[in-house]
């Protein structure tokens, strides 16, 4: 599966953000408290049923 991008609105530290991914490996780099883990949480909500049920 290839994810080309994600748009996140009003989730945790994100007001409105669009992120484009590229084929191959994508690396998240940023300062502490910049939203790296929140991006991973958003992806987990989309793809993991057990996580999704906790955010309903």
Which pLDDT tens digit goes with each residue over 18-32?
999 999 999 999 999
What values do phi and psi take at 8, rounded to 5?
-120, 130
| Residue spans of the chain under pLDDT 70 | 52-56
pLDDT (0 to 100) of residue 1: 78
pLDDT (0 to 100) of residue 55: 65
Residue 16: strand pairing partners: 9
How many structural domains does the chain have?
Answer: 1
pLDDT (0 to 100) of residue 56: 59
pLDDT (0 to 100) of residue 30: 96
Domain that holds residue 44: 5-54
pTM of the model: 0.78
């Amino acid at each position: 599966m290839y994810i080309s991008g994600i748009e996140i609105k009003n989730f945790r530290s994100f007001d409105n953000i669009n992120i484009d991914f590229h084929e191959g490996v994508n690396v998240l780099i940023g300062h502490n408290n910049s939203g790296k883990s929140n991006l991973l949480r958003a992806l987990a909500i989309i793809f993991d049923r057990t996580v999704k049920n906790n955010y309903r």
